Structure 1
Amino acid sequence: MAAIAGYQQNAGAVSQPRALITETISETELVTLAGNTRPEATAANDRGPLADSFPLEHLWLQLRRSPEREQALERYIDQLSDRNSPNFHHWLTAKQFGERYGLAQEDLAAITGWLGSHGFTVNLVYPSRVLIDFSGTAGQVREAFHTEIHNLEAKGEQHIANMSDPRIPAALAPAVVGVVSLNNFMPRPMNKPRGNYTAGDGYYLVVPADLATIYNLNPLFAAGYSGQGQTIVVVEDSDVYSTSDWSTFRTKLGLASAYPDGSLTQVHPKPGTGGTCKDPGHNGDDAEAAIDVEWASATAPNAAIELASCADTTTNFGGFIALQNILSNGGPVPAIVSISYGDSEPSLGAAANSYINGLYQDAVTAGVSVFVSAGDQGAASTDYDASNATHGITVSGFTSTPYNVSVGGTDFGDTYAGTNSTYWSSTNGATDGSALSYIPEIPWNDSCASELIADYVGYSQTYGLSGFCNSSTGDAFLTTVAGSGGPSGCASGTASKSGVVSGSCKGYPKPSWQSGLIGNPSDSVRDIPDVSLFAANGVWSHYYVVCYSDRSNGGISCSGAPGTWAGFGGTSVSSPIMAGIQSLVNQYSGGNQGYPNSTYYSLAKTEYGASGSSSCNSMLGNAVGSSCIFYDVTEGDMDVPCKGIDCYDDPSGTYGVLSTSSSAYEPAYGTNAGWDFPTGIGTVNAYNLVKAFGGSPTSVDAKLEIS
């Protein structure tokens, strides 16, 4: 991967951190690390304890920096994107990051000594000095952390997990958040294969040429901005099934001949001494790997696409191992990373949420822009692959931190409006594209709770005994599949009801850059998504084409026309596409831009003002204003069906709609002017975003002048 410019060579004098562990470590004075038991760890799912000898290799212990150092880090990250600050774009190396914001050496020595006293092997203290890699057995975990790890059966799958919150000596508590994971519930890839739907007739599938037309990439490509010199890293726990799928995708869809500099490499980032990264080969997540490398390349076709993968350990996600190693091994770091996986905040638990937040902090101080899928479960992240929501409103902890760009999902509104012929040619072009212009967008929602689907098939409401969700027609749409959005609710604290935002759960505080934008609520917490792009899987006759030939996992041969290939949707597609757009921003600006959200929101505040922009309303379609940076999606919702107290309906057992309040029963969530939970700021005009983002344009800037 290419190195990025702008590292601060002289970080200045760094004060020594104060020691946090000041008491004698006593095994009789314990504290509970609350909020670190999976919701699936119940008596009903329990299938007995693991053998004491069961190996648990490369566990991670997440540490806690002092409050003053945490505040200093947050200030520094804000300054990195402030053009008026002397720290603007002064990125830190891994060593500098640890020296400035890590724990004191005596704290690290006390913690590693304690681990060693219980028989654990300390493999690595990461340069950040807030993460320790260690190995042991289930018996050693039981003895040191006072929790048993059991076999579970949940949703027909075999798992392991701790059955109670860990406990540690009270003396360690000021410096220890907890074990990142004592279970093997891995995150889910945020993709959804094309389904069989009845909401529309025929299909208008999306290929790279369509993407370039709809989101106005073509003027950038024509001016020479197609990703040259840029590297986009997608992190995975699987390799692609075949690199020839990526080549076929590019060749048959016209990318290889027009943009010959594009490349794909697969790497397994070297860990520090004692760390881990094993080549995972290809596995059940190889569809996600194919989606990410192909659609990142479709957006920045001359860029270097790098798939960084590591095998999952028993308890840790291989994609995070890959990113952790990239940031920690002392080599060059990428400017842009995309992550297409997720799990809900309350399911992840306090330690895992803290780890993810810290990982992204590490990334942004190094100058990395992190893009993460918002999710594919509406506002019901805990209720993945379910027919209805039962856990209330939750969002993915992979995407809810203040340090990543959360990328949501839309669908096209032409089928609902009956205007397919306005926006799609009846014949495909030389590269199979048929989109004619920008197309009106609506939130991606496959469920019977969608007011647009209900209206299309003749129902005036979605909930209640006479509603669409409780009809025989609506049975086919009983699902939580929809583009995700919602407030952060359980990034810290402990849920009193498993998997539900409850008890002492708290969301991430609202970042300053998110406040003050029309539509964004005064809820004091981080809200997602930030931006959105098309992510549907066919409910309104549109989906993404993917060359994915692993037949053992649902793939299909790519020997025929693209219309016969596999089809997918999901915010796992919109994330690498948005990452690709940012790579064009970086190319135009002459360098990496680090964390871009503050700029996105600043531009949106200017465009939308106090009442929204009538000329940038997505419903205008091909009549939308030519200067719009963002397209404001204002029709539709991301509601999903539910049962229980969090439903917009009398909770009597009928299917209702997930609500924002169990007392007010307000549906969650519809679109409105400006920011909204279904789509965030909205979708993007890539050309205008690149022009407006700022920086020092390169020598071909004149080619981008608006005529």
Structure 2
Amino acid sequence: MKTEHVMRGLSIAAALAALPSIALASSASSALTGVNTTEAPRVTQTVDNRVVSTLGNTHLSLIGSSVISGAVADSTPMNHMQLILQRSALRTAALASLTDALHDPSSSKFHQWITPEEFGTTFGVADADINAVKTWLQSQGFTVNGVYPNKMQIDFSGTAGQVKQAFRTQENHYIVNHVSHIANAGDISVPAALRSVIVGVAGLNDFRPQPLHVPPQVAQFNKSSNNFKIQQPASSKAGTPGNPAVNFSGGVRGFVPYDMQTIYNTSSLYTSGFTGAGITIAVVEDQDMDPSDWPNFVSQFGLGSYGGTFNQFQPQLTPSTGNCTDPGGANPDGESIETILDAEYSTAMAPGAAIWVATCADSDSSNFFGGVFTAADNLINNTNAAGRPNVISASYGYGEGFTDTPSKTAIDLMWAQADAEGISVFVSTGDSGSNPSFNGFVINDAGIDANSLATSPNDTGVGGSDTADILDGTTSKYFNSTPNAVYGTAKSYVPEITWNTSCGNTVAAQKLVGLSALQFCKTALIYDPNGYYVTSESGSGGPSAIDAKPAWQRVVHGAPKDLSRDLPDVSLFGGSYGGYSWVILCTGLYPCTPNFASPVELVAGTSLSSPMFAGVQAVLDQGLYAAGAWSPNQGNAAPTLYELARNEYGGATGSTPSTLAQCDSDNGTKGTSKCVFYNITSGGNSTQCIQVAAFAQVTPDCYFYGTIQNYLEAYGPTLVGLTSTSATKYNSNTAAFSSTPGWSFANGLGSVNANNLYSAWKKFMGLP
């Protein structure tokens, strides 16, 4: 068997360059051998609209305290709602068992991925039950656009009036955080005969995950100082909420692909011929990018020789439901910074990969996720193997507190299906510390939360780190003073801390003024009486309130002894304290030119971290397949990452190995040459939080240390604090959250050495 793997690996390696992509075979999977989920239809009674049952948690609880600004007109279109179906207990257990086996090297089903049709037939809802639901929807006047191959969701359209009549709930306009939204006022009801097969409807509200990046900055390169000067608009006011309290008047730093490749050591894999060639990475988006950006990026940073490709398109089902239309923006004036970032920095780490920019419009999909959800869902349900990617990156998010049960079920269903098909999914965990819903704002009227798009046990959540050299004063040790031919300056791995731009950054507090974070925040408030520098910008992490902790997350040192799926799993560079370090984008309005003769755009956020890790995975996929893996796909990366981390950090109980301390990120390159993970133990993502008296709201999970007399000179008296698990005290044990040895809510397992990760992954799979 092992000889067959070796010979097969050699032939694959020789042929990789000739393949446009590597996809799963469409033949029946042996993983389903012995899996018997045959069952009788569960809809056995006559469907009677007069006998109904209410489905709990099918509306957003947060709207109960929100201002209603009027009812939605009955004629308002409600397009492409998703009726989410409920599988039986038998099929739920069978899927969980199969997923475990797919990730177990000792199982005969290891990596025997299945197709969307097999997923639907084996683990979906019975055809007779689906037909019963379809017939009822049509009887209520809805148009059924199609049933997904997973047999777990029905795409249908209608009006607000039909929703009110069929589901017995009123669609209203609400004001939430000063923004107008549409949502259903109460839980929905369905005929009692259908209750056992319906979870609810995703798409009755328009709360959609938002892009997770810091607002981009336009900057001009200064050749004499080898840094960038951010161009501030003449009309800008220093007092903009969330502005960094520390200004780098001498300029800022712009990282390029070479720097990220060097820091995380993907470059060593390129010398072995592994660049992501033959692997497809899909970034899922709700707006296009100018297609000329990507070749400009590749050319500027010397990535053209690796042979990567770019394709921007709208993924469709077969037959099409019509739920994915072009969102527009494929031009300099209308493009999405998020889309550019995702496409360019997945390429930065996997320069030989095929990059798919899969976009669907929000306006034509009124479900919770809009275009991002539709793009991912349609890719995963593509019945043509060549139409499914090997890796997906989703850099959007919103807290579970902003997610109703049907919508959350739809997320988890989507990623569970991707995992069963072998698709590796990476999701940004957020940019606002212990609550991902406040990207660009300050946490208020909400407690600890986690990104609902990332808390599925079938995806890998990616948090944000910061290089420690600026605060440590060690930049010359880790970076050259002048850039090389592809504008890179990194010499090696660089020690990392948690990305946190607030005064809650414990490293900044100690290094800059010799204070604790709490003292630092109190002192800063003296010089910022109106709270203009109060911010929650930081890499996000936290426990799920919905998804249970998977067994693989319990195995490593530092894992909380809670019952929750916890985030993040891993971290890569996301941003810096004071806004000193960014990555460079090549955009339509600001294309890259030789030697940066013209301005460029700089950006940061965990929207950077996720596509970069997706790129790392693509490079691993190519290498593992060339080494003899049965499939180029690895499915959810997290179970393997945690198992490998256990070898380095130790288990959840018992003594810890010497490598726990040896692989501490603070060591930099000293003694860490063999480490798979760099354990980030400095800093934390506890950030500032506020409570505005005028809004009569209460902010939980916040330790208040002071009062702003007139927040932003507009909102009146406002309490300001730091996110904490205790409202009465604040220290390293209560901060939400501190970086600690092993796994932590601040950075998960930490970052990686990609070359060492590849070697360890091969060993885990028993490959030569």
**Which amino acid is 1:298 matched to?**
A
**Contact 2:29-2:113 within 8 A present in 1 as well:** no
**Which amino acid is 1:272 matched to?**
T
Unaligned runs of 5+ in 2: 1-20, 218-242, 626-631, 691-698, 708-717
2: CA distance, partners of 1:274 / 1:136 = 18
1: CA distance, partners of 2:493 / 2:434 = 27
**Contact 1:151-1:161 within 8 A present in 2 as well:** yes
Task: Determine which of 130, 139, 147 is the counterpart of 2:161.
Answer: 139
Over 3 Å counting, the alpha-carbon distance change for 1:149 and 1:459 in structure 2 is farther
Task: Determine which of 586, 606, 609 is the counterpart of 2:621.
Answer: 586
The normalised TM-score by structure 2 is: 0.83
Q: Which moved more, 1:155-164 or 1:421-430?
A: 155-164
Residue 352 (str. 1) matches residue 407 (str. 2): yes
**Contact 1:454-1:461 within 8 A present in 2 as well:** yes
Q: Which moved more, 1:559-568 or 1:266-275?
A: 559-568
The Cα offsets for residues 302-322 of structure 1, whole Å up to 9 and x where unpaired, read as 111111111123413212212
- Which residue is equivalent to 1:150? 172
The Cα offsets for residues 436-459 of structure 1, whole Å up to 9 and x where unpaired, read as 111110001111222233334437
Residue 86 (str. 1) matches residue 86 (str. 2): no
Task: Determine which of 546, 553, 556 is the counterpart of 1:514.
Answer: 553
Residue 221 (str. 1) matches residue 255 (str. 2): no
**Contact 2:277-2:622 within 8 A present in 1 as well:** yes
Shift of 1:161: 1.8
Shift of 1:157: 3.7
Shift of 1:30: 3.1
Task: Determine which of 444, 461, 481 is the counterpart of 2:499.
Answer: 444
Question: After superposition, where does 1:439-588 map in structure 2 within 5 Å?
Answer: 439-458=494-513, 460-463=515-518, 467-468=522-523, 470-473=525-528, 475-489=531-545, 491=546, 508-536=547-575, 539=578, 541-550=580-589, 556-559=590-593, 561-562=595-596, 564-588=599-623
Residue 3 (str. 1) matches residue 23 (str. 2): yes
The Cα offsets for residues 326-383 of structure 1, whole Å up to 9 and x where unpaired, read as 2223111211111111111121111111000000111111110111111111111233
- Which residue is equivalent to 2:712? none
1: CA distance, partners of 2:706 / 2:192 = 44
**Contact 1:17-1:103 within 8 A present in 2 as well:** no
2: CA distance, partners of 1:519 / 1:357 = 25
- SS in structure 2 opposite 1:279? coil
- Which residue is equivalent to 1:310? 360
**Which amino acid is 1:598 matched to?**
P
1: CA distance, partners of 2:434 / 2:354 = 34
1: CA distance, partners of 2:353 / 2:746 = 30
- Which residue is equivalent to 2:301? 253
The Cα offsets for residues 281-312 of structure 1, whole Å up to 9 and x where unpaired, read as 22867111100110011101111111111112
Shift of 1:15: 4.0
2: CA distance, partners of 1:200 / 1:78 = 49
Over 3 Å counting, the alpha-carbon distance change for 1:470 and 1:17 in structure 2 is farther
1: CA distance, partners of 2:25 / 2:727 = 50
- Which residue is equivalent to 2:628? none
**Contact 2:314-2:375 within 8 A present in 1 as well:** yes
Residue 385 (str. 1) matches residue 432 (str. 2): no
2: CA distance, partners of 1:389 / 1:461 = 23
**Contact 1:589-1:698 within 8 A present in 2 as well:** no
- Which residue is equivalent to 1:199? 246
Over 3 Å counting, the alpha-carbon distance change for 1:660 and 1:198 in structure 2 is closer
- SS in structure 2 opposite 1:297? helix
- Which residue is equivalent to 2:12? none
Identity %: 37
Task: Determine which of 144, 149, 160 is the counterpart of 1:127.
Answer: 149
Q: Which moved more, 1:625-634 or 1:588-597?
A: 588-597
- Which residue is equivalent to 1:59? 81
- Which residue is equivalent to 1:432? 487
1: CA distance, partners of 2:26 / 2:759 = 22
Over 3 Å counting, the alpha-carbon distance change for 1:457 and 1:273 in structure 2 is same
**Which amino acid is 2:299 matched to?**
T
**Which amino acid is 1:3 matched to?**
A
Unaligned runs of 5+ in 1: 492-507, 551-555, 702-707
Q: Which moved more, 1:465-474 or 1:142-151?
A: 465-474
Residue 291 (str. 1) matches residue 341 (str. 2): yes
**Contact 1:408-1:533 within 8 A present in 2 as well:** yes
- Which residue is equivalent to 1:655? 720
- SS in structure 2 opposite 1:576? helix
Q: Which moved more, 1:286-295 or 1:610-619?
A: 610-619
Shift of 1:469: 5.7
Over 3 Å counting, the alpha-carbon distance change for 1:384 and 1:42 in structure 2 is farther
- SS in structure 1 opposite 2:95? helix
- Which residue is equivalent to 2:286? 237
Shift of 1:689: 0.6
- SS in structure 2 opposite 1:270? coil
- Which residue is equivalent to 1:597? 638
The Cα offsets for residues 157-205 of structure 1, whole Å up to 9 and x where unpaired, read as 4432212222222332211111012122221011113566453644232
**Which amino acid is 2:636 matched to?**
Y
The normalised TM-score by structure 1 is: 0.90
**Which amino acid is 2:165 matched to?**
E
Over 3 Å counting, the alpha-carbon distance change for 1:465 and 1:682 in structure 2 is closer
**Contact 1:37-1:164 within 8 A present in 2 as well:** yes
- Which residue is equivalent to 1:704? none
**Contact 2:300-2:594 within 8 A present in 1 as well:** no
- Which residue is equivalent to 1:375? 430
2: CA distance, partners of 1:544 / 1:698 = 37
**Contact 1:8-1:90 within 8 A present in 2 as well:** no
Shift of 1:425: 1.1
The count of corresponding residues between Structure 1 and Structure 2 is: 675
- SS in structure 1 opposite 2:755? helix
- SS in structure 1 opposite 2:685? coil
Question: After superposition, where does 1:160-171 map in structure 2 within 5 Å?
Answer: 160-171=182-193
- SS in structure 1 opposite 2:329? coil
**Contact 2:284-2:359 within 8 A present in 1 as well:** yes
- SS in structure 2 opposite 1:60? strand
Task: Determine which of 660, 678, 689 is the counterpart of 2:757.
Answer: 689
The Cα offsets for residues 66-94 of structure 1, whole Å up to 9 and x where unpaired, read as 11211110110110011111211111111
- Which residue is equivalent to 1:499? none
- Which residue is equivalent to 2:736? 668
Q: Which moved more, 1:566-575 or 1:143-152?
A: 143-152
Residue 324 (str. 1) matches residue 380 (str. 2): no
1: CA distance, partners of 2:276 / 2:438 = 38
2: CA distance, partners of 1:538 / 1:465 = 14
2: CA distance, partners of 1:697 / 1:464 = 49
- SS in structure 1 opposite 2:425? strand
The Cα offsets for residues 459-499 of structure 1, whole Å up to 9 and x where unpaired, read as 7344489714633248343111110111111x3xxxxxxxx
- Which residue is equivalent to 1:642? 689
Over 3 Å counting, the alpha-carbon distance change for 1:394 and 1:696 in structure 2 is closer
Residue 26 (str. 1) matches residue 48 (str. 2): yes
**Contact 2:471-2:512 within 8 A present in 1 as well:** no
2: CA distance, partners of 1:558 / 1:531 = 31
- Which residue is equivalent to 1:264? 310
The Cα offsets for residues 518-549 of structure 1, whole Å up to 9 and x where unpaired, read as 11110021111111100105625211111123
The Cα offsets for residues 587-618 of structure 1, whole Å up to 9 and x where unpaired, read as 11112222221111111000112436222110
1: CA distance, partners of 2:291 / 2:335 = 15
**Contact 1:36-1:351 within 8 A present in 2 as well:** yes
- SS in structure 2 opposite 1:133? strand
- SS in structure 1 opposite 2:463? strand
- Which residue is equivalent to 2:319? 273
**Contact 1:531-1:680 within 8 A present in 2 as well:** yes
Residue 340 (str. 1) matches residue 395 (str. 2): yes
The Cα offsets for residues 491-524 of structure 1, whole Å up to 9 and x where unpaired, read as 3xxxxxxxxxxxxxxxx11111111311111002
2: CA distance, partners of 1:663 / 1:169 = 48
**Contact 1:463-1:649 within 8 A present in 2 as well:** no
**Contact 2:429-2:436 within 8 A present in 1 as well:** no
- SS in structure 1 opposite 2:258? helix
